[in-house]
Chains A and B, each alone.
Chain A
Amino acid sequence: MIAVLFDGVAFGLQLSLLAVGLTLIYGLGGVLNLAHGQFAATTAIIGARLIDGGLPVVVSITAAVAMAAGLGAALDVTLMRPVYRLRGEDRVLSSLLVTLGLAFAIDGLLIRFAPFTLLNLVVPGPAIVLFGVPMRRGVVVAALSAAAVLGMLVLVLRGSRWGRAVRSIIQDEEGATLCGIDPARMRRSVFALSGALAGLVAVTQGLTAPIGATSGRDLTVLALIVTVVGGLGRVSGALIAGVLLGVVHAVASYAVGAFVTFVLLLLVAIAVILLRPTGLVRSAV
């Protein structure tokens, strides 16, 4: 049972990483990105191809994650442009439509051109024993990397000028503008960050199990559930909800079977939304 819990936390930290990217762009732009998981899948494919091409693993992965950041920024300045002309609910809905189209397009392209490419990052060596539970090295490295990136992200958001500006826009965009902050430019940088975070999840997933062209859809759905449960636009909410749902995911797969885990995750999401409509975390950022 402890092993299941550890697996859940390890997976949950990656879910947090995935959801933070979504929740930040919602906070800054009032939009959602249904191609978020597809950005991760694209990173996995590009990374795997670069490795196959003979580049060192670290270089390949770095390049693939940088490309994911570029994808994020490109989405912000191209397809999202007409979306930003709308306000409130119209903006969210049209962002859903636009990025759903993008998700289908990326899924189609990846399956057409790289159906069998997998990113599989094996960490050699014996299992690491934690509290008497043997854990695969890949899983431990994935969990620690996710935790490290999340920790850095929180530090940057809390402590840096850039992070302060990001949080100010989430709380009051007009107020931020009156302080001399350019919301469009900040949003572009956060879109790039969001893409990079999706890319990093592809890497940590690749450390756990092979990840390929068809993984985008599941990752998008998971990211969306975690984001909503944590509260849209709430960074701390995404962190908590990710770990919580990761544990639910692991326990459900262990106790009932993988085929119902999504149903259970959605039930938890529905329960949270019914009890706390604004998500687990109430206060802003």
Chain B
Amino acid sequence: MLRVERLDVERDGTPVLHAVDLHVADGEVVALIGSNGAGKTTLLRTVCGLLTPTRGEVTVAGRSVVGVPAFELARRGIRYVPAERRLFPALSVRDNLALGAYPARPTRDRYEVVFELFPRLRERRPQAVGTMSGGEQQMVALGRALMSSPRLLLLDEPTTGLAPALAEEAYTVIARLRDAGGLTVLIAEQQVHLALELAARAYVLEGGTVALAGPSTSLRDDPGVRRAYLGFA
């Protein structure tokens, strides 16, 4: 589904990513872990078209996405959910979700898919999103992306600002999505234990390059990962 090859990305002239290789197969959930500033967000923003690489290639389903505007990639089903969520605070839950289906008209079926996952949103349909709690806003952000039946979901730290219990809840929902099938997910996360539990494979980014990659089970036992990201001395 997603293939990233020899990717270099600069932000304001400063190199952030260097020679990054990564791939995510159809229907796979892959985690991207690493500390703050390692380049996780930059990688996701490049895949969804908000940033243009200086070198390298990014393809989704065999088609290059380099130089394609972000709105066009969103229409092709590549949906990025940023950590800061980027919702429309004065609009209702319903309107935020409806915009997720743009340019198509939102169908009842898609609303149902989202409301099944997040029953709380069904009750809050008319509420302005700006007045909701962080956890509820995260539900709207995920729901908005799902309204378009995406083929590739790029999640950037979906647990940002959430209490531990809510963070676990968010991951339970993403796991349900994974099990329902048909969705390919690349998820950047600082709460490494959650991400490694969800994803079959993971990449560890350090200083803008892939330092380590492999199945989550083996990364969980890796002494370096345990020390740096899982809090084991």
Contacts and interface: CB of A to CB of B under 8 A. Distances in A.
Nearest to B69: A182
Interface string B65-93: 00001111011000111100111111100
Contacts of B75: 180
Contact of A181 (B81, B82, B95, B99): B99
A220 interface: no
Contacts of A168: 88, 91, 99
Contact of A179 (B85, B90, B102): B102
B71 A182 contact: yes
A174 B91 CA distance: 16
A178 B48 contact: yes
Contacts, number: 71
Given A178-B74, A178-B79, A180-B71, A284 B90 contact: yes
Given A164-B98, A164-B99, A181-B71, A175 B88 contact: yes
Interface string A159-186: 0010011011001101111111111000
Given A181-B71, A182-B69, A176 B90 contact: no
Interface string A226-254: 00000000000000000000000000000
Given A177-B74, A178-B74, A182-B71, A161 B102 contact: yes
A272 interface: no
How many chain B residues sit at the interface, stated as a range, is 20 to 34
Contacts of B50: 174, 177
B144 interface: yes
A165 B105 CA distance: 12
Contact of B71 (A161, A164, A171, A177): A177
A181 B102 contact: yes
A180 B48 CA distance: 11
Interface string B183-223: 00000000000000000000000000000000000000000
Nearest to A158: B95
Nearest to A174: B86
A181 B102 CA distance: 7
A283 interface: yes
Contact of A176 (B48, B79, B85, B99): B99
A76 B10 CA distance: 30
B101 to A, nearest CB: 8
A273 interface: no
B163 to A, nearest CB: 24
A172 B141 CA distance: 13
B100 interface: yes
B68 to A, nearest CB: 12
B86 A178 contact: yes
A167 B71 CA distance: 16
B148 interface: yes
Nearest to A173: B86
A234 B70 CA distance: 27
Contacts of B85: 175
A171 B91 contact: yes
A284 B148 CA distance: 26
A175 B141 CA distance: 10
Interface string B47-75: 01010000000000000000001111011
Given A172-B87, A178-B80, 5 more contacts: A161-B103, A171-B91, A177-B70, A177-B74, A179-B100
5 closest Cβ contacts across the A-B interface? A175-B86, A180-B74, A180-B75, A171-B88, A284-B90
